[in-house]
Amino acid sequence: MTRSLLYEGKAKKVYQTDQSNELILSYKNDATAFNGKKKEVFDGKGRFNNLISSHVFHYLAEHDIPSHFIKKLNDTEQLVKKTTIIPLEVVVRNRATGSIVKRLGFEENRPFHPPLIEFFYKEDALDDPIINDQHALLLTDATDKELEQIKAYALRVNDVLMNLFDSIGVTLVDFKLEFGRDLLGQIVLADEISPDTCRLWDKETDAKLDKDVFRQGTGDLLTVYDTILKRLEAIK
């Protein structure tokens, strides 16, 4: 398969394949936090992100959630449908932690029933600010109906993934999703779902099994990503 580099982001490279509607996502070993201000390379990280995200997207497909994911190609790469990314980070929160505690003073760990959805504008130069629905309509070309569809998908993903992670002894605390439009104009889930983009806490010990160990310097990233991958592989 011939390929040409389309885009290089903080964590992934995106290649155009010889099929116009298919891209390769190649996961890098770079970990970044605080919009790239903290950075470190971990040999083997790209493999963990690719294998975990492939597992999660495969599971979502089995639960009828449309996404860009086609298949895992090898340890660090996956084949995806070409989409036009809508520049929104869609965060779903089941408990208060992270930025919402700093921003709004919620008590740490406070549960959200129903889960809380927040939109952030995906724009590095602005540090991805939180926005409301009206901002989202003005800043992106998504329609009202599409924003509602995105929120409905985000809640369905939450339901499905809470069950998946629960079955491996992990609480899904919060996570970030991105959506794109495929070549038919349909909204589909895109990007990755991994310990880079989710907060995953061990149900028994509350140990953090996600990128917070790197953000906060409280643990070994590769060890906790390996824990998540091994537990997912054990239920296959």
Site residues (vs ligand C5P, CB under 6 A): 89, 91, 98-100, 128, 174-176, 197-199, 211
Q: Which is nearer to ligand C5P, 81 or 176 (CB)?
A: 176
Minimum CB distance to ligand C5P, residue 4 (Å): 27
What are 130's two structure tokens?
Answer: 């939180």
Cβ closer to ligand C5P: 106 or 169? 106
Instruction: Indicate the residue whose CB is closest to ligand C5P.
Output: 98
Q: If you compute the radius of gyration of the chain from its CA atoms, what whole number of angstroms results? A: 17
Alpha carbon distance 199, 150 (integer Å): 20
* Residue 160, both tokens: 């499905």
110, 96 in Cβ contact below 8 A? yes
170 contact partners, CB below 8 Å, separation of at least 6: 200, 201, 202, 203, 209, 228, 231
CB of 16 or CB of 99, closer to ligand C5P: 99
CB atoms within 10 A of CB 167: 11
Nearest to ligand C5P of 51, 198 (CB atom): 198
CB of 217 to ligand C5P, least distance (A): 16
Q: How far is the CB of 133 from ligand C5P (least distance, A)?
A: 18
**Least spacing, CB of residue 212 vs ligand C5P, in Å:** 7
Plot region of 217 (φ>0 → left; ψ -120 to 50 → alpha; else → beta): left
Which CB atom, from 11 or from 188, has the smaller least distance to ligand C5P? 11
Q: C-alpha angle 90/178/4, rounded to 5°?
A: 160
Please say whether the beta carbons of 126 and 99 come within 8 A: no
Measured from the CB of residue 20, what is the shortest distance to ligand C5P in angstroms? 29
Beta carbon of residue 209, minimum distance to ligand C5P (angstroms, whole number): 12
Of 128 and 182, nearer to ligand C5P (C-beta) is 128
